[in-house]
Every structure is written in C-alpha cells, then in structure tokens.
Amino acid sequence: MNTTTIPRGLTPQEAASELQSGISTALTATDTVSATRLSDLTLVHKARLSQLTRSVKAATAQYGEASSQAAKAQAAVTAEHNIVARVELVKRRTALTAPTVSANGWAVWGLVHDTNSKPLRGYCVFLVDEQKNYQSEYGFAYTDESGAFTINFAGAATAAGQTKATVPTVFLSITNAKAQQVFIGSKALSLTIGSALYVDTALPVGAPPLGDIPQEIQRTAVPPPRSV
C-alpha cells in the first residue's frame, strides 16, 4: 500500500535555534554579503514553507483533519511562517540607515510592526512624559511602508542662541492609522546625547485601542493623506 511521506517539521526550539544561527551567520558578513545571505535564507525557508504546506494537505487527506499527523504538520507550517516573518523583519532592519545626529541632539528611530512581523504603515510615533503628556518640542513621525520612523531632535536653543545638551525622560507612544492610541512605552527611552537610539516595537494583532488621546495628539496624529 502506498503511503504519503510527511516531512518532519522543526520543533519550536529547533526552529528558533536554526533561525538565530542563520541570521547570526548572515549578519557577521559585510553589508552587501549580509543582504545576500539574508535573501538566500528567506528563499530557503519559503521553499520549506511551501513543502510543509503541501504536507498538511497530504496528512489531512491520508489521516484526516483531526489526526495527530495533520496537527503536527500544521504546527510545522506555523513555525515556518514565524521564521519567514522574522527573517523578513531582520532584512527590513538591515536595510535601514541610522540617522545623522547633531552633537547636542539625539534621535529615536526604528520599526513598528505587529507580532506577525508585518510592517505597520501610517502609524504616528511621538514622545510623552511620565504623565503621558505629549512632548511637542520633539515632534513626531509617521511610519513608512516598511514600518520605519525617525524622530531627530537637534537640541534646544538657549537665549544666547546656543544649544544645550539635555536628555529628557520620555516614553514612546504610538497611534494607529485611525489616530487611536495603541501603544505607550512602560520604560523611559535610554537616550544619549549625540547618538541615535534604535527601537523595535511589536504591536499585538487585533489588540483594541488603549483609549482616547488628548486633543493635541488627535490633531497631530491624524493620518497623512495618501498620494493618489
């Protein structure tokens, strides 16, 4: 009797170990080689994902949808989906260039994505103080197609026309494309004068908004019009 061979999927521990090993190997190379290795890594895991997806259909057809074989095959597909998403996220990170920061200023930059590593476009990123008050002097930024944003502060001017090197106690806050607040950082940003701080923010898929936001933020965080 002919039987269908179901490829063995990686356990979560094996998947995480393989992913970290592949990414580490890619990132130890030069930028150009790193990008190539990450692309190759993506192709390898996409091919594996395609194979595992076929194995789900085979297991379901041979053993039934409720069988342990089908469940294991689906778990392998889920693990592989997560790997592909993680690699794509790392590729987006390596494609970014850190902003140039003034000697007396600082910057916050990074990526905003959901927990499936999908980039979130048109989200407004800004800074608040310990009382969650919007710090308008530092401005705000909208995420682009890759979920990237940059807030670059040159330094506050003094009466003498000079700049003062100060580091405020601020927290990251984010509104979605509907100007609804969806994230408030629980830890103050570790800013450093003359440096850019990279922040990676993953937002839960389908999580409800945190509530209303101040009118000042409402006016600021209205999504920018899309070009036609």
How sure is the predictor about 4, in pLDDT bands with cuts at 50, 70 and 90?
very low
Which of 133-137, 142-146, 156-160, 189-193 comes out lowest in average pLDDT?
A: 156-160
Least confident of 24-33, 64-73, 160-169, 202-211: 24-33
Residue 117 confidence class, pLDDT cut points 50, 70, 90: confident
* Cα separation values, 47 from 87, 126, 169, Å: 14, 39, 46
In angstroms, the CA 144 to CA 63 distance is 45
Cβ contact 115:160 at 8 Å: no
What's the pLDDT band for 66 if we cut at 50, 70, 90?
confident
Q: pTM score > 0.75 for this model?
A: no
Q: How many Å apart are CA 207 and CA 143, to the nearest integer?
A: 19
